[in-house]
Amino acid sequence: MNKRVICLFIIICIIILPACTIKNNSKIEADNFTTAQVYIVKEFKGKIAVFQQGNELPVHILDCIIKDLPPDAVQALTTGIEVNNINELQKIIEAYD
């Protein structure tokens, strides 16, 4: 993972996430997520969403409007942040709670 992604992850977890709330339950439901899947956290209709790699529709949408985020975070979410394991994904989603 490159330094820019790590820096962005820290910014999101410490500064941005406490200001946002999750639309659904913060626990990741096993029906929607698998441990071997790669996920992409990115913008969807102006909010943060979780996608399974290769899918066009999200499996989870967070109630956090990206236009309120710093420009670096918006840029990363527009491109998409790859998450390689379910534990890392759970941490990102819980940080929004």
Over the stretch 14-60, which tens digit does the pLDDT of each residue have?
A: 445 444 544 444 445 555 555 568 999 999 999 999 999 889 999 99
pLDDT one-digit tens code per residue, 8-27: 555 555 445 444 544 444 44
> Is residue 49 a contact partner of residue 62, using CB atoms and an 8 Å limit?
yes
Q: Please compute Rg for the chain using Cα positions.
A: 12
Residue ranges of the domains in the chain? 3-94
Is residue 54 a contact partner of residue 26, using CB atoms and an 8 Å limit? no
pTM check: above 0.75: no
* Distance between first and last Cα of the chain: 25
Residue 65 one-letter amino acid: I
Q: In this structure, are residues 32 and 50 in contact, taking their beta carbons and an 8 Å threshold?
A: no
